[in-house]
Amino acid sequence: MIKIGVSSCFMYPDIDRIVFGPKTLLYLENDMANYLSKPGVIPILIPDYDGDRMKEFLDEMDGFVFQGGVDLAPESYGEEPIGRWKGDKYRDDYELAIMDYAVKSGKPVFGICRGFQVMNVYFGGTLYQDMETQKPETIKHRDAIEYDKVKHEVVFTKGELLDKMYEATEVPLVNSVHHQGVKNLGKDLKVLATSEKDGIIEAFTWTGAPDGKVMGVQWHPEYFHTIADQLIDAHKLYNHFLSFIKK
């Protein structure tokens, strides 16, 4: 069985919550669980362990997926908050440590939305804390009501991985559920896709590994099933990630 370690989303103590009010909860969004589960492949949520205990757990994983969720804290990429977008520094530190292990161990890594942004920050990049504020010419990339039905066209970098993977796609469309985005690209990251209307970076791969072995996308392939007939094939990305795992 191939074991895919998935970074946790966090819910912190909230005494008004009906269950586990005083406790921190770790969770995996259900569409993500379904997307990552295949015959012979099982996603496993990564606990919030410390030190050797964490390393022993991570050693058992064959690859790593970083899921979406709350914003990164501006402090994680050397900035101060410009408004109400404070992010989650605790989760940042937890995920950046896992990212460091994953990259240095040579195991495949797939970053999705927040995970894509975590990867950019890990490699020294920065983020727009809020694109509407800092880059107002951008198109709508998030709507709380429409949510995973928001979509837009992307442009694949000519001759690169995603361009080859989706060569038969006439109008490549992806969904969009984010208000932050890549500002300064991290070191040794190669852009694979940009938003057609405003140039926002939508996908990249790390050049220190084979194309796609350490890769991130700003969109949510796990949500593609909502309007699947309108979007690119989400499973090609995940299958490429799995192709680097030899069992």
Q: Using CA atoms in the order 109, 65, 138, 90, what is the torsion angle rounded to 10 degrees?
A: -110
Distance between CA 80 and CA 108 in Å, rounded?
A: 32
- Using DSSP, state whether 214 is helix, strand or coil: strand
What tens-digit pLDDT sequence spans the chain (247 residues)? 999 999 999 999 999 999 999 999 999 999 999 999 999 999 999 999 988 999 999 999 999 999 999 999 999 999 999 988 899 999 999 999 999 999 999 999 999 999 999 999 999 999 999 978 888 887 677 667 777 778 889 999 999 999 999 987 878 999 988 889 999 999 999 999 999 888 899 999 999 999 999 999 999 999 999 998 999 999 999 999 999 998 6
pLDDT recorded at residue 168: 75
The predicted pLDDT at position 140 comes to: 73
**φ, ψ of residue 79 in degrees (nearest 5):** -125, 165
Decide which of 1.20.140.10, 3.40.50.300, 3.40.50.880, 3.20.20.70 is the CATH code for 2-242: 3.40.50.880
Instruction: Kindly report the number of other CB atoms within 10 A of residue 119's CB atom.
Output: 30
Distance between CA atoms of 229 and 216, rounded to whole angstroms?
23
Q: What CA dihedral angle connects 120, 68, 33 and 173, to 10 degrees?
A: -80
Cα separation, 66 vs 114, whole angstroms: 7
Q: Report how far residue 152's alpha carbon sits from residue 175's, in angstroms, rounded to the nearest whole number.
A: 6
Are 203 and 162 in contact, with CB atoms under 8 Å apart? yes
Q: Count Cβ neighbours within 10 Å for each residue of 89-114 and write b for 16 or more, e otherwise.
A: eebbebbbebbebbbeeebbbbbbbb
Which residue is associated with the tokens 């977008």?
85
pLDDT value for 170: 75
pLDDT at 247: 66
Angle among Cα 82, 83, 84 to the nearest 5 degrees reads 140
Distance CA 176, CA 206 (A): 22
The pLDDT, as a whole number, for residue 14 is 96
Distance of CA 226 to the CA centre of its chain: 19
pLDDT for 139 equals 62
> Catalytic residue positions?
113, 220, 222
67 contacts 29 by C-beta, under 8 angstroms: yes
Residue 71 DSSP symbol = P
Residue 246 CB contacts under 8 Å (≥ 6 apart), including other chains: none
Can you give the pTM of this predicted structure?
0.95
Tokens 């990305």, residue located: 237
Q: What is the pLDDT of residue 32?
A: 97
What integer pLDDT is reported at residue 37 of this predicted model?
97
30 within 8 A of 68, measured Cβ to Cβ: no
